[in-house]
Amino acid sequence: MAATGRPSLFLDACRRRPTPRPPVWFMRQAGRYMKDYRDLRAKHSILELAKTPELACAVTLQPVRRFGFDAAILFSDILLPLEPMGARLRFAPAPIIDNPVRSARDAARLRPCAPREDLSRVLKAVSLLRRELGQTPLIGFVGAPFTLASYLIEGGPSKDFVRTKAFMNAEPAAWAGLMRRLAKMGADYLTAQVEAGCQAVQIFDSWAGALSPAQYRGKVLPYSRALVAGAQKSGAPIIHFGTGTAGFLRDFASAGSDAVGVDWRVDLAQAFKTCRGQAVQGNLDPAVLAGPLPALKKAAAEILRTGRGRRGFIFNLGHGVLPQTPEANVLAAVELVRSAGRP
Ligand code: CP3
């Protein structure tokens, strides 16, 4: 299928302008659930795909062309900027950092990241994509300070974030310095992505749900707020996404983004109330997207019903597409959203 996204449907929704139907895109819309992706991935590592502008461009386009999403998201990874900061990163296939930050001294040794030099290959992919995509908007992204700090400190994925929370509590000054640096990197990197051609950006705070409301408010929110404020100068709308944020959604939303991304644990109508004045993105359960079609259609229709008539609704998942998702399910979900605009 050709990319047929109406030019400004997605950007209009980000700005809470009225749209004839909600725009639809999915986190991890490029990835292992697609045969086209697996074919390319058989020949190249994920880092090769992300760091070769022509390949990153090709992977980004795959789902847009096949399913007709209303926006493209740059194929890259939130962990890439940690390499120029000094992290030794590899994927196995989960990400591993071989030299994790375990002390205030480790944190002080991290270098600043200069995106235009250090991430020039990613920015080159953005400019290639801008030409290929025509009217379809391109979303750039960065990891939020907390989610990036958790990878730096844990050295990989974690279930309970014991080391991250120990660092946060035992080394308050080093934690503040680390979070400040990650916020600065994020604002600089998002600005560079917008200058290279991205028309919107998303901040991924994928693991914010590990925090208590008090931890979020005291130890994380100020830095997410600084990141949003810094990136806002670029003029592009900012989507702030997190999972497990139901318990502190008001604080999460107060970071000040244009749109708030919520997961399926949040009641969508409640999210609109809590995030008054902001667009809301979500929130189909990726496991439901991967499952039987009748249940998928029912859940998607329910989300569309809740979003109907509301300004600033962006249809998405509550987290990324799972690798076992049938491509036919993705097509069915996208078609359902697209048909919501037809009489
Ligand atoms: O959304 C998109 O289509 C754009 C591409 C994208 C990737 N990672 C590609 C990728 C984006 C936006 C990300 C962000 C990212 N990376 C996040 C935040 C979003 C989220 O899912 O919570 C996080 C936490 C990471 C870190 C990361 N990268 C993990 C945990 C993994 C392993 C995942 C797994 O299932 O094994 C990666 C690797 C990765 N990044 C893959 C893709 C498509 C799988 C790579 C592969 O083996 O082919």
Structure-block tokens of residue 228: 């949003």
Question: What SS3 class is residue 90?
Answer: strand
70, 77, 118, 188: which one is catalytic? 77
- What is the average pLDDT across 28-39? 98
b (16+ CB within 10 A) / e for 178-212: bbebbbbbbbbbbbbbbebbbbbbbbbbbbbbbbe
2 within domain boundaries: no
Is the confidence at residue 2, as pLDDT, over 60?
Answer: no
CATH code (residue 303):
3.20.20.210
Percent of the chain, pLDDT > 70? 98
CB atoms within 10 A of CB 215: 18
280 contacts: CB under 8 Å, gap ≥ 6: 259, 260, 262, 268, 271, 272, 307, 310, 312, 313, 314
41, 66, 181, 338: which one is catalytic? 41
Is the confidence at residue 75, as pLDDT, over 80?
Answer: yes
* Residue 234 · residue 251 · CB < 8 Å: no
Question: Ligand 1: which residue has its CA nearest to atom 30?
Answer: 94
Active site residue 131: no
Residue 82 Cα to ligand 1 middle (Å): 14
Active site residue 188: no
CB atoms within 10 A of CB 315: 26
Q: What is the domain extent for residue 182?
A: 9-339
132 within domain boundaries: yes
1 within domain boundaries: no
- What is the average pLDDT across 94-102? 97
Instruction: Count how many domains the chain has.
Output: 1
Question: Ligand 1: which residue has its CA nearest to atom 41?
Answer: 31
Is the confidence at residue 5, as pLDDT, over 80?
Answer: no
pLDDT digits 0-9 by tens, 122-153: 999 999 999 999 999 999 999 999 999 999 99
Euclidean distance between CA atoms 317 and 300, whole angstroms: 10
pLDDT digits 0-9 by tens, 269-327: 999 999 999 999 999 999 999 999 999 999 999 999 999 999 999 999 999 999 999 99
pLDDT for res 341 = 78
Euclidean distance between CA atoms 253 and 256, whole angstroms: 6
**pTM score, whole prediction:** 0.96
* Residue 193 · residue 201 · CB < 8 Å: yes
| 41-48 own/partner pairs: CB under 8 Å, 24+ apart | 45/91, 46/77, 46/91, 46/93, 47/89, 47/90, 47/91
Question: Ligand 1: which residue has its CA nearest to atom 13?
Answer: 77
CB-count burial class (<10 Å; 0-12, 13-18, 19+) for 158: middle
Euclidean distance between CA atoms 126 and 59, whole angstroms: 12
Mutate to test the pocket of ligand 1, among 69, 78, 264 (most ligand atoms within 8 A of CB): 78
How does DSSP classify residue 319? S
Residue 151 Cα to ligand 1 middle (Å): 13
pLDDT digits 0-9 by tens, 191-249: 999 999 999 999 999 999 999 999 999 999 999 999 999 999 999 999 999 999 999 99
4 within domain boundaries: no
pLDDT for res 7 = 57
Euclidean distance between CA atoms 16 and 5, whole angstroms: 18
244 contacts: CB under 8 Å, gap ≥ 6: 207, 208, 209, 210, 263, 265
pLDDT digits 0-9 by tens, 172-192: 999 999 999 999 999 999 999
b (16+ CB within 10 A) / e for 217-256: bebbbbbbbbbbebbbebebbbbbbbbbbbebbebbbbbe
Active site residue 32: yes
* Residue 97 · residue 89 · CB < 8 Å: yes
Residue 28 Cα to ligand 1 middle (Å): 7
Pairing of strands 95-97, 138-143: unpaired
* Residue 279 · residue 298 · CB < 8 Å: no
Mean residue pLDDT across the chain: 96
138 within domain boundaries: yes
6, 15, 32, 121: which one is catalytic? 32
**End-to-end CA distance of the chain, in Å?**
22
Question: Ligand 1: which residue has its CA nearest to atom 22?
Answer: 206
Question: Ligand 1: which residue has its CA nearest to atom 31?
Answer: 94
Euclidean distance between CA atoms 61 and 138, whole angstroms: 10
pLDDT for res 342 = 76
- Residue 102 φ/ψ, nearest 5 degrees: -120, -5
294 within domain boundaries: yes
Residue 17 Cα to ligand 1 middle (Å): 31
Q: Indicate left, alpha or beta for 134 from its phi (over 0: left) and psi (-120 to 50: alpha).
A: left
What element of type H or E holds 142?
Answer: strand 138-143
Looking at this protein, which amino acid is placed at residue 161? F
114 within domain boundaries: yes
Active site residue 251: no
22 within domain boundaries: yes
Is the confidence at residue 83, as pLDDT, over 60?
Answer: yes
- The set of protein residues with a Cβ atom below 6 angstroms from ligand 1 is 27-32, 41, 46, 73, 75-79, 91, 93-95, 141, 157, 204, 206, 320
343 contacts: CB under 8 Å, gap ≥ 6: none
Active site residue 37: no
